[in-house]
Amino acid sequence: MSKIGFIGLGIMGRPMAGHLLDAGHELTTVKRGTLDETLASKGMQELADPKAVAEASEVIITIVPDTPDVEQVLFGEGGVIEGLKPGTLVIDMSSIAPLATQEFAKRITEAGGEYVDAPVSGGEGGAINAALTIMVGATQEGFERAQPLLEIMGKTITHIGDHGAGQTCKVANQIVVALTIEAVSEGLLFASRAGADVAKVRESLLGGLAQSKILDVHGERMINRTFDPGFKIRLHQKDLNLALEGARSLNLALPGTANAQQLFQACVAHGGGDWDHAGIARALEQLADHEIGSR
pLDDT in tens, 126-152: 999 999 999 999 999 999 999 999 999
The single residue of 51, 170, 232, 238 carrying the catalytic annotation is 170
| pLDDT for residue 32 | 87
Pick out the chain residues at pLDDT < 50: none
The burial class, CB within 10 Å (0-12 / 13-18 / 19+), for 32 is exposed
Closest among 228, 29, 3, 223 to 125, alpha carbons compared? 228
The pTM for the full model equals 0.91
Class of CATH domain 3-162: alpha beta
Contact 80, 90 (CB under 8 A): yes
Q: Do domains 3-162 and 168-288 have the same CATH topology?
A: no
Consecutive H or E run containing 7: strand 3-7
Q: What is the pLDDT of residues 233-248, one digit of tens each?
A: 999 999 999 999 999 9
Look up 232 and say whether it is catalytic: no
Superfamily of domain 168-288: N-(1-d-carboxylethyl)-l-norvaline Dehydrogenase; domain 2 (1.10.1040.10)
Domain ranges of the chain: 3-162, 168-288
